[in-house]
Chain A
Amino acid sequence: MRNPIATLRNRWSDSDARADGGEPASTRSFFDRDSVRSAPFWLPPFLLVGLFVYGAVVWNFLLSLTDFTGIGEPDYTDLDVENYFVAFADPVDGLLSTVGLGGEVQGGSPAWSELTVEPVWNSLGNTIALMVGFAAICLALGLVLAILVDRGIRFENTFRTIYLLPMSLSFVVTAKFWLYMYNPNTGLINIALGAVGIGPVQIVQNPDLKLGAVAFALIWQFSGYAMIVYLAALRGIPSSHFEAARVDGASTIKMYWRVIIPQLRTATVSALVVITVFALKAFDFLFSMYGGYQPGPSADILATRMVREAYANQNWAYGSTIAVILFVMALFIVAPYIYSQYRRGEL
């Protein structure tokens, strides 16, 4: 939202400038325009971002249309969308397998390879499963924690600090800790399971558990973040709302469900956006946990697949293609958010 006072004040200063003028008004107004006078401030960072972020995104899209496999220069004269057909080959079976119903997915054979190249369905399915599962539980846990911490407890700062602590760690460090937690002999998880008579359970390479194990570790790391966001939002709700609900005789749970939670929509959306984008970035975690580019089919997400295709298999163009898919997914999450921020005047 534009600040009305600021706008007004610029009008004034502009007219002042013109009034005492002497130079031709056209050049004057150009150099005096606030966009130009402020350019030394926003332009250099904008150019950096423009070149390294948006320039690279566009370049990456171009690369995804080539057949580049790392030898020689990419050939930008021969562009086609073949890689996208390979990535989404066999869409019917692919989509079925993505939701866990399908069987064999047939790959395609692009011009740059003599072999069949696997489509992205499997890693796409895992990515979506990880994003949804991780985000939902993260938000739910964060909300519950925020409500508990908001109940006027003692040592609130200490609890808050502890809950947010894992957020300061690197994905790489988290992976090392959880690889240890999941160890069948010495891991805390199996010691805990053993205490209630279960196990020991293989987790790290177990196809049924590994994606869940990854999600669990990520929840450990980021639910504190959801808590902090919700806590700030709860603090923003006038206490009269709490009291009004109490006077009506609503139980605590009803009060939160009917009165408070509906007011947390904004917080939920902003936490959700950030957390899903974290899930898109889980590459670091998987790379560290499995010591390389191969987390195995059950935990393979687009983020690992992309880096593996480009940097391990030297299928650069195909890696770029998967990167575009990731970018579009991020865009689908973020664009509505930014637009709504704009509509509400918060940009």
Chain B
Amino acid sequence: MSSDMNDDGLSRRTVLASAAAAGATGLAGCSSLTGGGTETDAGMSEIELLHAWSSGDGNAAIAALIEGFEEEHPDVEFAEEPVNGAARGNLDQVVSNRLQANDPPSTFQTWPGATLTKFGDAYADIEGEVWTDDLKENYLPGPKAQAQLDGTYVTVPLNIHRINNLFYNTAVLEEAGVDPESLSSPADVVDACAAVAENTDAVPFAQQTSGPWSTIQLWETVLLAQAGIDGYEAFIGGDGDVDQVRSALENVVELSEYYPSDASSISFTEANTMVMEGDAAFIHQGDWAAGAYSGDDEFNYGEQWGQVTYPGSEGSYLLNMDSFPYFDNNPSPEATKTFLSYCGTTDAQVRFNREKGSIPPRKDADVSELNAFQQDQYDDFTSADSQPPSIQHGLAVSPEIKTNITSAFSGFLEDYDADATAEALVGAFE
């Protein structure tokens, strides 16, 4: 094998993998997924990180994170491998193939929480080594619970996107005579939509319905707002009250009257653009919607657009997170733990979230470097009474149950039958 070594003692394979990482910016964009980490010798294992942030703000965020890590740990080799153009489901597919070949990567981008059950046996306990007392003290209970699989710490949450937002176009609401701050329940949102419909030409509630995910998000938010944190947690625990579930669905049915008429033919980005261009008043989305706004110099937070916690869900911060788990049989045990520990620091989280548009999960972060909207969100987060996990975004229920929920909503999008869908949703846990 020595003939394969170059002067630095790195195998050709390692060089290829590093070239792949560097190639993200150039032509050599490469998704080679063969295990770089397992084949180096001299104990200098390198970290192999798989992720799907191959473009846009996600790519900038992971680059910033790695830059920070390499500044602090110049001795640890790093082979970041963006699975280019991948969606999260594809990434799981890659990891599944790798686990099948008994060749796990060091870590990869995954939703924490119930999604962890998918590769449950493949993870290992990192309490103590990574999850130190410092982390345990500074993560709020919600995110901390999501880092555990059956009570064992196996992953490090890196960022939080909030789901229970209501974004609005200020000018449209002014024209309609609606004060967003005055809304206090999901029913108020419906009334506000009616006012918009009556007083303006704009679409009251921008939404896409060609795929179920936006509607699931909306419904889970409404459920949280109407049934409260107890009702919400009962549902995700498999013990939901069918009346509460139905009532949330009925609210969504009412809202659907105010969707764009071509909601079933458009995508989320088109719906979001409607708000930006003043063609729509409200949109309910995760706070990545604000990422698109910040790209437009003439559409500013607090001036042209604003955000309120989805009416009725004040006091809760509905979580969508990404995290890096630790695999048993790790190709680079020490280096991976060093990296995961770094991801648990405020420095790492601020670097990452500044680019990503989300907020740090630690409560002690200095967020002065984040933008005004993120700072407001962070204030909401640290002062929230509860941090429930999102159903749509894989934290609250196992992938199998989520499959049933998605399937129930694909039917809901056809007939908006709240009764039947409520039965199906409560039955999704059986």
Contacts and interface: CB of A to CB of B under 8 A. Distances in A.
B210 A204 contact: yes
Given A115-B401, A204-B265, A294 B212 contact: yes
B325 to A, nearest CB: 15
A70 B100 contact: yes
Nearest to A314: B96
A206 B264 CA distance: 10
Given A185-B261, A186-B262, A205 B99 contact: no
Interface residues of B, number: 34
A100 to B, nearest CB: 15
Contacts, number: 79
Nearest to A205: B264
Interface residues of A, number: 36
Given A71-B119, A115-B404, A291-B210, A204 B100 contact: no
Given A185-B262, A291-B211, A207 B414 contact: yes
Interface string A104-137: 0000000001111010000000000000000000
Nearest to A180: B265
Nearest to A72: B100
A314 B414 CA distance: 25
Contact of B211 (A184, A200, A294): A294
Nearest to A200: B261
A325 B57 CA distance: 44
Interface string B391-430: 0000000011101101100110111000000000001111
Interface in A257-311: 290-292, 294-298, 311
Interface string B256-270: 000001101101000
Nearest to B260: A185
B209 interface: yes
B262 A183 contact: yes
A215 interface: no
A23 interface: no
A312 interface: yes
B410 A295 contact: yes
A295 B399 CA distance: 19
B74 interface: no
B265 A294 contact: no
A296 B261 CA distance: 19
A149 B100 CA distance: 58
- Interface on chain B toward A: helix, strand, loop, or mixed SS? helix
Nearest to B417: A207
A84 B93 CA distance: 25
A214 to B, nearest CB: 13
Contacts of A15: none
Nearest to B93: A311
A104 B81 CA distance: 47
Interface string B262-289: 1011010000000000000000000000
B122 to A, nearest CB: 8
Contacts of B428: 115
Contact of A71 (B89, B99, B415): B99
A314 B400 CA distance: 9
A138 interface: no
B377 to A, nearest CB: 29
Nearest to B87: A292
Contact of A297 (B93, B264, B411): B411
A160 interface: no
Interface string A184-219: 111100000000000010101111001000000000
Given A114-B400, A204-B210, A294 B407 contact: yes
B362 to A, nearest CB: 33
A202 B401 CA distance: 30
A204 B264 contact: yes
Given A72-B100, A116-B430, A210 B265 contact: no
Nearest to B100: A72
**Which of A204, A296, A298, A313 has the most B CB atoms < 10 Å from its CB?**
A296
Contacts of A297: 407, 410-411, 414
Interface string A59-91: 000000000001111000000000000000000
A179 interface: yes
Contacts of B414: 205-207, 210, 296-298
A182 to B, nearest CB: 7
Contacts of A202: 261, 264
Contacts of B413: 205, 296
Given A115-B404, A296-B411, 17 more contacts: A70-B100, A71-B121, A113-B400, A115-B400, A183-B262, A183-B265, A200-B261, A202-B261, A202-B264, A204-B265, A206-B414, A207-B414, A290-B210, A294-B211, A295-B410, A297-B411, A313-B400
